[in-house]
């Protein structure tokens, strides 16, 4: 990285990396009187009467102070409080980016630990927690210990505990990979500063025996009786050993933990370690031994560093944002050892889960799988927020330091909402699906993404997946990807007992459409047609395909075999677009190139039905380049006629048009300029006049506008068939499967309701016939 790039990043477009953004409007005189005097006096008095109301009426519950005196900044040393400010601002960026926590950075111009303590204590009314940063040892120990005793908000020195918590997770998993017992391993820690001492204590809490730990510093081994460079914190770990140098200490050792300086670990030292050595070379920016040199020296090594360009990065951003998130959300009075251990165990467990495609893409498409080169989650894995924060919150509640008790299941859902509205919406759909899972057939069963999605569907109890393809190949792929085959049905179309039955049925359906018996046999042997026949005959409840196929390849068999739903003339496609604040349904974005007025009306009614499945009451805008007759043209007339058709067929639906897109989504425009309109509150369903406009709009909104696109959702089929996006991610597949399950559930409900109505009508007819007969 060039020096100029770093300076430019920090200077432009405005100096620094953080700013204060208001969470309340301040546009009118009323807003001003509420934000400040006289309205602000009301919450002030409420807090005076009940101090706990400070969490109700202010941002304290989501506000952390990052406090430093600049005495140990990164690897730069004592550069002073002001010079350390870019680091503290950067810490604030990470808090916000990864856990949605607000931060003020406070740089204290004092090296007197008592003055640092006093400043923190005086700031307790302002902040929900304090993150101590870049304060040199041993003063940092004294500062944190004193603050924890005297303050009733969480205080956390990240340089100590962050490294300990994250490397602890890496240690647990590395030991599992090499099949070593934590109680038996011998360990050398090089570097007896804040992080080194905290790591040793945390490892002991995980199970490492104190007598199996040897510490080294710049003077050499920390042994009993040593006088030079000692303090009470080092004295606690003075070992009864004859070893005097790092080289001596490392002979036969299982684990090396480096928190010191670059290139201090030589190949000769590495060769002297035990079989399957575990090396955490965490000096920054350059590790204690170069990664390439280490793996060239020992083929059986597991190595972790602090760098992102090598496997197994021990990065503190995996800890502090999520630990504070969990602590703040339950009003924890402190961050105790149990909460730190909970964070470690959560990270260790998460590393064994399947890694989302979004994470793989963030790291250049790297194949991430639990093992020697993946013993700890990646920093950009969004699941860390859910796993770690909930574990920390649960530990706080269990140990009695939480002031608020929360249901952990519900809390995990709340955390998921912080990842974005798309996650929140899909969680609702997934919960619906889990109430009554259905059988989903995947014709592209030989694709690893499909198999990984199938595993998640089974684990989450969303659906019962059926994957099609060569059984031997699928089983091999499952083994390679560590996918548990239980719960996943694997079917080879050509070898299935159902093949003759499906072939005969397909021939009956298509025999007058130019299909011979031979051709029927050939077509049914293909997974897409075979899967569609499974759906047709009731051996599956829904079909998902398209990951490696073009749209028509999936649609053609479906339309030929499954047909459209009763009363529907044409199938259409819908996308859900999720912005930070709103949810929109857009149609048709995938199927009908130039729909007629009648087609547009049908698309609108199907979209309304789909929206209701997501518990959204439809407000439909029929889009055009014209606002309510402002431009007379056959194209705008077509949209106007479509509105009239919907209003006559389904008067209960809120719909209006023709209108322009900005009119549709801006309530102020439509209500002030067009008060006669029946559309109130802004549209949440946008019906485009043709495929060209719909497809372009949804792609621009998702790519440039930052909206999350969920779909395509196929509307109008008699049974659920959904087309996956080519090269879609595993999460996309799981989401579409959940949507398909909910589709099946709704179709079954409708069928029951129709059957009930028919039964009632039949009963009424019978009564009427009997009355006539008696008369």
Residues annotated as part of the active site: 36, 91
DSSP letters along 662-700, please?
HHHH-HHHHHHH-TT-S--S--SEEE-SSHHHHHHHHHH
Residue 254 CB-half CA count within 13 A: 16
DSSP letters along 386-429, please?
HHHHHHHHHHHHHTT-BSS---HHHHHHHHHHHT-HHHHHHHHH
How far apart are the C-alpha atoms of 78 and 135, rounded to whole Å?
9
Sign of the torsion angle spanned by Cα atoms 259, 262, 264, 270: positive
628: Cβ contacts below 8 Å, ≥ 6 apart: 657, 658, 659, 674, 677
How far apart are the C-alpha atoms of 228 and 675, rounded to whole Å?
85
Length, in residues, of the chain: 775
Distance in Å from the first CA to the final CA of the chain: 98
Among the listed residues 168, 137, 135, 96, the one whose alpha carbon sits nearest the alpha carbon of residue 317: 96
How far apart are the C-alpha atoms of 216 and 44, rounded to whole Å?
54
How far apart are the C-alpha atoms of 163 and 340, rounded to whole Å?
11
Among the listed residues 195, 188, 219, the one whose alpha carbon sits nearest the alpha carbon of residue 141: 195
Instruction: Report angle CA 535, 727, 365 to the nearest 5 degrees.
Output: 140
Sign of the torsion angle spanned by Cα atoms 138, 141, 143, 149: negative
Instruction: Report angle CA 101, 103, 104 to the nearest 5 degrees.
Output: 170
Q: What is the DSSP letter of 525?
A: T
Cis bond upstream, residue 138 (ω within 30): yes
Among the listed residues 581, 591, 571, 588, the one whose alpha carbon sits nearest the alpha carbon of residue 623: 588
What does the block give as tokens for 774?
């008696």
Task: Give the largest Cα separation in the chain, rounded.
Answer: 117
């Amino acid at each position: 990285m060039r020096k100029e790039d770093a300076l430019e990043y920090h200077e432009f477009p405005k100096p620094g990396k953080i700013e204060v953004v208001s969470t309340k409007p301040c546009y009118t005189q009323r807003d001003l009187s509420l934000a400040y005097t006289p309205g602000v006096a009301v919450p002030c008095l409420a807090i005076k009467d009940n101090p706990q109301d400070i969490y109700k009426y202010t941002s304290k519950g989501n506000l952390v102070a990052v406090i430093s005196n600049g005495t140990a900044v990164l690897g730069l040393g004592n550069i002073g409080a002001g010079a350390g400010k870019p680091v503290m601002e950067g810490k604030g960026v990470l808090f916000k980016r990864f856990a949605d926590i607000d931060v003020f950075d406070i740089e204290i111009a004092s090296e007197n630990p008592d003055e640092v303590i006093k400043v923190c204590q005086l700031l307790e009314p302002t902040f929900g927690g304090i993150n101590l940063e870049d304060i040199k040892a041993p003063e940092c120990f004294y500062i944190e210990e004193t603050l924890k005793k005297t303050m009733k908000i969480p205080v956390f020195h990240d340089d100590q505990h962050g490294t300990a918590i994250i490397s602890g997770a890496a240690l647990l998993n590395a030991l599992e990979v090499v099949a070593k017992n934590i109680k038996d391993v011998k360990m050398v820690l090089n570097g007896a500063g804040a992080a080194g001492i905290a790591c040793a204590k945390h490892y002991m809490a995980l199970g490492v025996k104190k007598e199996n730990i040897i510490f080294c510093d710049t003077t050499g081994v920390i042994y009993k009786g040593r006088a030079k460079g000692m303090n009470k914190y080092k004295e606690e770990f003075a070992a009864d050993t004859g070893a005097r140098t790092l080289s001596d200490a490392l002979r036969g050792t299982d684990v090396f933990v480096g928190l010191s300086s670059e290139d201090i670990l030589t190949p000769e030292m590495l060769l002297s370690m035990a079989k399957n050595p575990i090396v955490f070379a965490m000096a920054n920016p350059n590790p204690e031994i170069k990664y390439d040199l280490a793996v060239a020296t020992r083929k059986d090594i597991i190595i972790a560093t602090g760098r992102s360009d090598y496997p197994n990065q021990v990065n503190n951003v995996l800890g502090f944002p999520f630990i504070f998130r969990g602590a703040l959300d339950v009003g924890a009075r402190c961050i105790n050892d149990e909460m730190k251990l909970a964070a470690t165990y959560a990270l260790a467990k998460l590393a064994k889960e399947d890694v989302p495609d979004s994470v793989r893409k963030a790291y250049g498409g790297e194949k991430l799988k639990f093992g020697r080169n993946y013993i700890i989650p990646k920093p950009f894995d969004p699941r860390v927020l859910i796993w770690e924060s909930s574990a920390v919150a649960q530990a706080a509640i269990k140990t009695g330091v939480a002031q608020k008790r929360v249901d952990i299941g519900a809390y995990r859902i709340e955390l998921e909402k912080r990842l974005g509205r798309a996650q929140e919406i899909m969680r609702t759909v997934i919960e619906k699906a889990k109430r009554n899972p259905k059988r989903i057939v995947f014709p592209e069963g030989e694709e690893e993404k499909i198999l990984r999605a199938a595993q998640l569907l089974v684990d989450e109890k969303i659906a019962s997946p059926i994957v099609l393809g060569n059984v031997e190949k699928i089983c091999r792929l499952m083994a390679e990807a560590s996918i548990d085959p239980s719960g996943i049905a694997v079917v080879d179309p050509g070898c299935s007992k159902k093949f003759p039955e499906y072939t005969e049925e397909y021939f009956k359906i298509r025999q007058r459409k130019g299909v011979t018996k031979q051709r029927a046999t050939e077509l049914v042997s293909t997974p897409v047609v075979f899967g569609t026949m499974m759906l047709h005959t009731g051996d599956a409840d829904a079909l998902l395909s398209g990951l490696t196929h073009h749209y028509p390849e999936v649609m053609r068999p479906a339309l030929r075999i499954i047909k459209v739903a009763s009363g529907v003339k044409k199938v259409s496609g819908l996308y859900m677009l999720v912005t930070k604040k709103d949810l929109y349904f857009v149609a048709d974005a995938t199927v009908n190139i130039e729909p007629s007025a009648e087609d547009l009306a049908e698309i609108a009614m199907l979209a309304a039905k789909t929206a209701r499945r997501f518990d959204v009451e439809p407000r439909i805008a029929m889009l055009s380049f014209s606002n309510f007759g402002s431009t007379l043209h056959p194209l705008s007339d077509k949209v106007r006629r479509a509105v009239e058709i919907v209003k006559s067929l389904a008067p209960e639906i809120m719909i209006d048009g023709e209108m322009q897109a900005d009119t549709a989504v801006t309530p102020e425009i439509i209500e002030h300029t067009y008060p006669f309109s029946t559309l109130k509150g802004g549209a949440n369903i946008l019906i485009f006049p043709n495929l060209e406009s719909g497809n372009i709009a949804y792609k621009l909104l998702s790519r440039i506008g930052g909206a999350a696109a969920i779909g395509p959702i196929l509307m109008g089929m008699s049974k659920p068939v959904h087309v996956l996006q080519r090269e879609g991610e595993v999460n996309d597949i799981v989401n579409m499967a959940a949507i398909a399950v909910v589709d099946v559930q709704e179709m079954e409900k409708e069928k029951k309701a129709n059957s009930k109505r028919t039964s009632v009508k039949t009963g009424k007819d019978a009564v009427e016939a009997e009355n006539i007969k008696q008369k």
